[in-house]
């Protein structure tokens, strides 16, 4: 059964040993961020903070709910030890059976309503996440909701939001591959109309996952979430704007945005593991109303060296790439996007049916929406498990020719917060990409192909069976 809200999800994580309650009082100023970072780097259970310094009893904070594939599996009502390959396949199957949301008249997110002068975002424990950040960030694990001016399309995304003052937050979305940017520049800006924006914090896990996915242009993520959940997401109307938001959200911010209305934003410790992007004027969102549950749970992510919550992008991106390659008839056996690489490296295992199949794979991926944030592609033979980083690295080191096996594409569009871009490249969104062909050449004589030495490939079956019998006898 799908989780109704983030509270049910956290309770399940606790039951499975994937989350732990922190009863000690913690400070929103760096301490919460440091604990989340430590938990991410050690693979420890997701911390659920019960007491926040300077805030009323009952105001809580939670992060790390998607930092491991086991937690993604739990969110999808699958066994925690489900293999990532199976999770990706199931995610792909379900998302292609969308279910429209259901509008309800009321919901827990309406338990407290503050409009106009009553709005004060500092009433929530908005964290200062990293030393050196441009300020406190209220939006790091949430859904930013906006509507196309010329159609019924509603977009859910996850864009970072810096807290400027009690009723103003920033946003970074200035990239042509971002749907919200397209919505605004295509529809609202030419007509000099403000864009209505809702920020839903603390939503059920599948809705959160879908807010981070690479949905095609014009596809509503909330429909996709319904398909993955197996039942509609319940939505409720906002108080002051014409948008609908998750009824069980912990906190909902209702606002309007105009691109010419800016304040200095950033920098911020990003998903890549670096603090990137200069502090510069970026659009702001002027808040009209806030609604929230009693004893709200503030959900957040702590960006940094992977793995952390952005690991969900490894699942959602792999799903998109899997579909794109299959649609072109590529005989692949698996696609992995390693969380450890800040989802910037994709590994594709393929049955090499023709020469230069790696080139086709690379251009299909780079032609997909998700390709702008995939600067590196590793193509391996089908006897390599693309989900096993050790096997992929071994194939890379032993089968990729340093000259003819590495192919670069210069002056290629990329997302503009990649750490290796210089200032000019960031401004122009112009970088480079490369793919690594780690397959044996088709024109080699089979006798010249080196034989891999592993337990299953270098010993007779009877020897393997004898060794395994001894292995099990001695408790290995």
The stretch 282-293 carries a mean pLDDT of 96
- Residue 455 covered by a domain: no
Residue 463: other Cβ atoms inside 10 A: 11
Residues 289 and 366 in one domain: no
**Three-class secondary structure of residue 269 per DSSP:** strand
What is the tens place of the pLDDT at every residue in 317-353? 999 999 999 999 999 999 999 999 888 999 999 999 8
Residues 350 and 257 in one domain: no
Residues 133 and 29 in one domain: yes
Q: Which domain holds residue 88?
A: 6-309
Residue 311 has pLDDT above 70, yes or no: yes
**pLDDT, averaged across the chain:** 92
- List beta partners, residue 324: none
| Look-up of token digits 């398909």 | 227
Residues 345 and 207 in one domain: no
> 334-361 burial by CB neighbour count: b if 16+ within 10 A, else e?
bbbbbbebbbbbbbbbbebeeeebbebb
d(CA 335, CA 337) in angstroms, rounded, equals 7
- CB proximity list for 453: less than 8 A, separation 6 or greater: none
Share of the chain above pLDDT 70, in %: 99
The stretch 432-453 carries a mean pLDDT of 91
Residues 63 and 204 in one domain: yes
- Quote the tokens at residue 313: 């992008």
Residue 442: other Cβ atoms inside 10 A: 11
d(CA 353, CA 66) in angstroms, rounded, equals 37
**Three-class secondary structure of residue 78 per DSSP:** coil
Q: What are phi and psi of 93, to 5 degrees?
A: -65, -45
What is the tens place of the pLDDT at every residue in 167-195? 999 998 755 457 888 898 888 989 999 99
CATH of the domain at 423: 3.40.1670.10
The stretch 218-234 carries a mean pLDDT of 95
- Quote the tokens at residue 306: 């992977």
CATH of the domain at 201: 2.30.110.10
Dihedral angle, C-alpha 114, 117, 120, 123, nearest 10 °: -60
The stretch 372-386 carries a mean pLDDT of 94
Domain termination site, one of 241, 275, 309: 309
- Residue 470 covered by a domain: no
Residues 224 and 114 in one domain: yes
Q: What are phi and psi of 49, to 5 degrees?
A: -80, 125
Confidence at residue 175, expressed as pLDDT on a 0 to 100 scale? 57
- Residue 317 covered by a domain: no
| Look-up of token digits 């592609």 | 377
- Residue 84 covered by a domain: yes
d(CA 127, CA 133) in angstroms, rounded, equals 11
Counting beta carbons within 10 angstroms of the beta carbon of residue 321, is it exposed (0 to 12), middle (13 to 18) or buried (19 or more)? buried
- Quote the tokens at residue 383: 């006897």
Q: What are phi and psi of 431, to 5 degrees?
A: -135, -135
d(CA 178, CA 181) in angstroms, rounded, equals 5
- CB proximity list for 18: less than 8 A, separation 6 or greater: 45, 46, 68, 70, 71, 74, 80
Residue among 188, 178, 192 at smallest CA distance from 144: 178
Residues 283 and 360 in one domain: no
For 248, the enclosing helix (H) or strand (E) is none
Residues 378 and 253 in one domain: no
Residues 397 and 281 in one domain: no
- List beta partners, residue 282: 263
Give how far Cα 437 sits from Cα of 267, 324, 381, Å: 36, 19, 9
Residues 238 and 380 in one domain: no
Residues 269 and 336 in one domain: no
Distance of CA 274 to the CA centre of its chain: 16
What is the tens place of the pLDDT at every residue in 234-247? 999 999 999 999 99
d(CA 419, CA 387) in angstroms, rounded, equals 25
- Residue 203 covered by a domain: yes
For 168, the enclosing helix (H) or strand (E) is strand 168-170
More confident residue, 9 or 447: 9
Confidence at residue 273, expressed as pLDDT on a 0 to 100 scale? 83
Residue 422 has pLDDT above 80, yes or no: yes
d(CA 253, CA 265) in angstroms, rounded, equals 19
- Residue 22 covered by a domain: yes
d(CA 460, CA 471) in angstroms, rounded, equals 16
Domain termination site, one of 279, 309, 339: 309
- Residue 425 covered by a domain: yes
Domain termination site, one of 278, 309, 340: 309
What is the tens place of the pLDDT at every residue in 381-415? 999 999 999 999 999 999 999 999 999 988 888 87
Q: What DSSP string describes 101-155?
A: -EE-S--GGGSEEEEGGG--GGGS---B-STT-SS-EEESSEEEEEE-TTSS-EE
Counting beta carbons within 10 angstroms of the beta carbon of residue 375, is it exposed (0 to 12), middle (13 to 18) or buried (19 or more)? buried
Give how far Cα 382 sits from Cα of 91, 179, 220, 331, Å: 22, 35, 35, 9
Q: What DSSP string describes 225-241?
A: HHHHHTSPPEEEE-SSS
Residues 75 and 214 in one domain: yes
Are 247 and 109 within 8 A, CB to CB? yes
Is the four-CA dihedral 331, 221, 123, 119 of positive or negative sign? positive
- Residue 319 covered by a domain: no
Are 135 and 164 within 8 A, CB to CB? yes
- List beta partners, residue 49: 22, 61
Give how far Cα 327 sits from Cα of 207, 321, 322, 348, 365, Å: 26, 10, 9, 15, 12
Domain count, the chain: 2
Confidence at residue 298, expressed as pLDDT on a 0 to 100 scale? 98
């Amino acid at each position: 059964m799908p989780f109704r809200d983030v509270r049910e999800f956290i309770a399940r994580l606790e039951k499975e040993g994937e989350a732990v309650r922190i009863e000690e009082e913690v400070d929103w100023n760096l301490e919460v961020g440091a604990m989340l970072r430590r938990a991410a780097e050690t693979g420890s259970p997701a911390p659920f903070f019960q007491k926040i310094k300077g805030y009323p009893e009952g105001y809580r904070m939670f992060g790390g709910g998607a930092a491991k594939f086991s937690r993604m599996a739990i969110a999808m009502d699958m066994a925690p030890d489900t293999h990532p390959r199976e999770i990706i396949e199931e995610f792909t199957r379900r998302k292609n059976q969308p279910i429209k949301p259901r509008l309800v008249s009321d919901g827990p997110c309406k338990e407290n309503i503050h409009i106009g002068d009553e709005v004060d975002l500092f009433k929530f424990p908005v964290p200062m996440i990293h030393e050196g950040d441009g300020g406190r960030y209220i939006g790091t694990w949430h859904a930013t909701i906006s509507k196309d001016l010329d159609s019924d399309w509603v977009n859910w995304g996850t864009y970072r939001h810096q807290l400027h003052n009690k009723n103003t937050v920033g946003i970074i979305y200035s990239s042509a591959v971002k749907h919200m940017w397209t919505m605004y520049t295509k529809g609202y800006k030419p007509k000099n109309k403000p864009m209505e924006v809702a920020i839903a914090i603390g939503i059920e896990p599948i809705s959160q996952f879908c807010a981070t996915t690479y949905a095609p242009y014009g596809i509503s993520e909330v429909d996709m979430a319904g398909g993955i959940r197996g039942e509609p997401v319940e939505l409720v109307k906002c108080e002051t704007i014409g948008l609908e938001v998750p009824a069980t959200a912990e906190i909902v911010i209702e606002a309007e945005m105009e691109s010419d209305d800016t304040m200095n934003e950033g920098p911020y410790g990003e998903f890549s593991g670096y603090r990137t992007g200069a502090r510069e004027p970026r659009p702001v969102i002027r808040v009209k109303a806030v609604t929230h549950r009693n004893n709200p749970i503030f959900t957040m992510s702590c960006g940094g060296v992977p793995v952390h919550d952005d690991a969900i992008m490894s699942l959602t991106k792999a799903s998109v790439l899997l579909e794109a390659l299959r649609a072109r008839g590529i005989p692949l056996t698996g696609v992995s996007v390693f969380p450890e690489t800040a989802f910037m490296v994709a590994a594709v295992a393929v049955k090499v049916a023709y020469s230069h199949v790696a080139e086709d794979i690379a251009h299909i991926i780079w032609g997909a929406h998700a390709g702008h944030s995939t600067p590196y592609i590793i193509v391996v033979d089908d006897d390599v498990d693309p989900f096993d980083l050790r096997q992929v690295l071994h194939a890379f080191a032993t089968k990729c020719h340093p000259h003819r096996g590495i192919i670069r594409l210069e002056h290629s569009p990329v997302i503009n917060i990649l750490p290796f871009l210089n200032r000019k490249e960031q401004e122009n969104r112009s970088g480079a990409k490369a793919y690594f062909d780690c397959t044996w050449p088709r024109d080699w004589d089979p006798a010249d192909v080196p034989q891999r030495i592993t337990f299953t490939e270098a010993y007779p079956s009877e020897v393997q069976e004898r060794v395994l019998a001894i292995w099990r006898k001695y408790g290995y």
